Structure 1
């Protein structure tokens, strides 16, 4: 069977701070993130199937990514929960702000690893996660490939 890669792009706004970092990113700041999700599979070859000819409906990818990544990430501040930022996080949460304490430093690299793990669990079994690209700024992004992470 022929394998085809399908990619969908998502955008979300989020803030973070890198505890212990020696540059500007130690301060709370935000990004207009762009996330490209690429899956791989074979097109459905069943004329009676409503999605005949598709690897997966783009709408299905959208639903999965929105549910397990965007819904939690959009307009949220990410902090390393293992840092003193957890005190500030609790104060912000008490005032109604969306804050997520992560068990890791909220860099693009670590976020993309987390996103890959979430998506791999929730994708239909007839397709596989091929790659992710998380763009933090116009000129900076992290990429994750399944082939690099057996």
Structure 2
């Protein structure tokens, strides 16, 4: 029953965004050096013939998933909510060769972490669950997602 272990890997990426309709400075296009902590939970592999013996998940395998789903997509991109007038600005930037991501949500840390949780969960092996995500936007501001808050 016991023996669940949490494994965490940290990532960083640079992303620009703008919050349409916001009443402060963040309505302007700006960027953050995001730090993402991904924590999964599971039992270490007990089959001593398995090359991953003793691991919950190989850190390299977790890295591959998060890089493909999140880091490689969001790094050095500018994120806009596709359901706002920012779409015109996004089109102009794309036409000039910029990496633009159009998402169907307001690109706050809170909404990004929800999006990331869905994307990462889909790719994890069956015996492992996503435990939590922490997306740090600045030195003092972050959003967290926990599996047990969403059961």
CA RMSD in angstroms, aligned pairs only:
0.6
Structure-2 residue corresponding to 1:29: 30
Residue in 2 that maps onto 1:117:
118
Which runs of 5 or more structure 2 residues have no equivalent in the other structure? none
With normalisation by structure 1, the TM-score equals 0.99
Cα separation, 2, equivalents of 1:95 and 1:123: 36
The 5 Å alignment of 1:73-84 reads: 73-84=74-85
Q: Structure 1 residue 144: deviation in Å?
A: 0.1
Question: Which structure 1 residue ranges, 4+ long, deviate > 3 Å from structure 2?
Answer: none
Distance in 2, Cα, partners of 1:80 & 1:42: 38
What is the aligned partner in structure 2 of residue 145 from structure 1? 146
Query: Which residue in 2 is equivalent to 1:10?
Result: 11
Cα distance per residue 1:29-49 (max 9 Å; x no partner) = 000000000000000011111
The alignment status of 1:66 with 2:67, answered yes or no, reads: yes
Q: Which runs of 5+ in 1 are unaligned?
A: none
In the alignment, the residues of structure 1 paired with residue 4 and residue 27 of structure 2 have an alpha-carbon distance, to the nearest angstrom, of: 43
